[in-house]
């Protein structure tokens, strides 16, 4: 089983939540608690995945996630759409 798939799915759900939030409020958000209702509509986040970091910039955002059983981190850059990088 590839644990990184869970981290990738969590980041994908986070991306959907960010898109919903931006369409409603005109900006991205770096607070997971405030994003929760927007992420829940995208199947939520797995308790087995930790979102390690979210950075919000003017026109894009980045995030890093890790499945708790995996040593690898998965990185998301909203400028690259669904392009996920491991490392």
Q: pLDDT tens digits for 37-84?
A: 777 654 567 789 999 999 999 899 999 999 999 999 999 999 986 545
What is the reported pLDDT for 33? 82
Confidence of residue 2 (pLDDT cuts 50, 70, 90): confident
Distances (CA, A) of 83 to 11, 51, 76: 11, 17, 7
Beta strands in 1-87 (DSSP E): 49-56, 61-67, 74-77, 84-86
Query: Quick one: which of 39, 82, 66, 83 has its CA closest to 74?
Result: 66
Q: How far apart are CA 56 and CA 63, in angstroms?
A: 9
* Statement: residue 11 has pLDDT above 70: yes
What is the reported pLDDT for 43? 56
What is the reported pLDDT for 37? 72
What is the reported pLDDT for 83? 45
């Amino acid at each position: 089983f590839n644990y990184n798939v869970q981290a990738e799915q969590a980041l994908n759900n986070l991306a959907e939540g960010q898109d919903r939030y931006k369409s409603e409020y005109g900006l991205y958000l770096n607070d997971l608690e405030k994003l929760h209702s927007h992420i829940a509509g995208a199947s939520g986040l797995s308790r087995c995945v930790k979102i390690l970091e979210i950075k919000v910039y003017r026109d894009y955002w980045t995030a890093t996630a890790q499945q708790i059983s995996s040593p690898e981190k998965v990185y998301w850059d909203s400028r690259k759409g669904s392009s996920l990088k491991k490392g």
